[in-house]
Amino acid sequence: MTARRVSVVVPTCNRPGPLRRALSSIRALEGRDIRLEIIVADNGACPDTRTAAAEFGAKYLTVEQKGPSAARNAAMFAATGDYIAFLDDDDAWTDRHLRQHLDLFEANPEMDLVIGQVISTNEQYQPFGEPWLAEPPKAGPDLLRRMLSGYFPQIGAIVIRTRVRDQIGGFDTSLIGGEDLDWLLRIAKGGRVGFAKVPCVLFTHRNIGTFDELQLRRLRYDKLVFYRYALRWWRLWRSPMEFCRAYSGTLMHFYRYFADAALERSLRGERGPALMAAFHAFSIFPLRAIKHQFSDTPLRQAIMRSLSSRTHAVQMHLPFFLAVLHC
């Protein structure tokens, strides 16, 4: 049996503890049929990162330019395998990753990209929810529409042929967020995409309300990526309404994040931070936020709790009051 050679790109920044978990999950998949070249690209300043890479036999690269795009590019262009896979330093692979991806490549020589399923976990690495996507879209226009409507393939669940790197280049280093979606859209446009219906990566979600500034930056760049491709590929959309639904789908998880953060903070009695989170939710979807003041939603609950000491009249006119403030 000829071993298939896979290079694994692992960007990292000052997180040697989670990095060790990630590298361990990668190395555990190696066998007689798979040889792994792990490349750790470090744009942090923690000396223990190099030690962690050495413990798992990984190549170690220092990357001066900050950001995941620069780190991934450095490792990806140093890769020597026939295939390239990815894993962020705070995630982990399952023991079912890689082999089904590689089998699909061998059965379909024209295929460039294979996407697997993702299992969401909390910061304690406890899984929640079902693997997603349950039913992946077909390659071609359907996939592109889904990717521009809120489906972001998780980078740790994908494998590419190394030739793709040479054909489309690296990640856009000007993007602080949305860089992986941007890169995957460029690949998916070719239509040579397969799906492995197997949970292959444990994707760590940070706790709600703990990374507002990061979410606001990501929001800006996800908008940029959406317009970059949704307008360029305008023939994808069968109606203006479909375009609007796609835009809504792209930003919906940001809206939900801030609505949920507002409720959690209001339950803790943190009125100012709760109202600030509510304001961010309003700034993303003003009309939706106003509509949600007329039903029992997290956003309405958060605002009512935070303004519980106000007069009844203010509470009754709250939707209109907030709408005027937003304008």
Cα 266 to Cα 309: distance, rounded to the nearest angstrom: 13
Please write the tens of the pLDDT for every residue from 210-249.
899 999 999 999 999 999 999 999 999 999 999 999 999 9
Interhelix angle 240-267/271-284, rounded to 10 degrees, is 180
What sign for the dihedral angle of Cα 300, 302, 305, 306?
Answer: negative
- Within the chain, what is the greatest distance between any pair of CA atoms? 77
For 279, other C-beta atoms within 10 Å of its C-beta total 16
Cα 21 to Cα 164: distance, rounded to the nearest angstrom: 28
Cα 124 to Cα 122: distance, rounded to the nearest angstrom: 5
Please write the tens of the pLDDT for every residue from 88-105.
999 999 999 999 999 999
Q: Which residues pair with 42 in a beta bridge?
A: 12, 62
- At 287 the pLDDT is 95
Cis previous bond, 224, omega within 30: no
> pTM value?
0.91
Answer yes or no: is pLDDT of 302 > 70.
yes
**Rounded to whole angstroms, what are the CA distances from 157 to 130, 182, 238?**
15, 16, 30
Question: What's the mean pLDDT in 243-258?
Answer: 97
All domains of the chain, ordered by start, with CATH? 4-204 (3.90.550.10), 212-326 (no CATH)
Answer yes or no: is pLDDT of 320 > 50.
no
The kind and range of the H/E element at 93 are: strand 92-93
User: Of the candidates 272, 252, 277, 280, which has an alpha carbon nearest to the alpha carbon of residue 262?
Assistant: 277
